[in-house]
Amino acid sequence: MVRPSLPAAPALDMPDSGAIVCSCFSVGINTIAAAVTGQGCTTVEAVGACTKAGTNCGSCRAEIRGIIDAHRLAAAE
């Protein structure tokens, strides 16, 4: 007898990656923000090195730049 497979439940200890910014690598806004605030990434290239976001098709690079700028402004306040 074959049982139907059930969808996997998200791991409870995994942080919420947030809304997807980079669809090529399924990188969310919270993951990018964590790279900016926690890893000290200050450029799109640095975020890409940490998360892979923006390293394939490049269509999300402007949004990544906006996230970096927003966190820079928030830190300056």
Over residues 7-46, the pLDDT tens digits come to: 555 556 778 999 999 999 999 999 999 999 999 999 999 9
The domains of the chain are located at 20-76
71-74: list long-range contacts, CB under 8 Å, 24+ apart: 71/33, 71/36, 71/37, 72/42
36 with 47: CB under 8 angstroms? yes
Residue 6's pLDDT is what?
Answer: 58
Residue 8's pLDDT is what?
Answer: 55
* Four-way CATH pick for 20-76: 1.10.10.10, 1.10.10.1100, 1.10.1370.40, 1.10.1040.10: 1.10.10.1100
pTM: 0.79
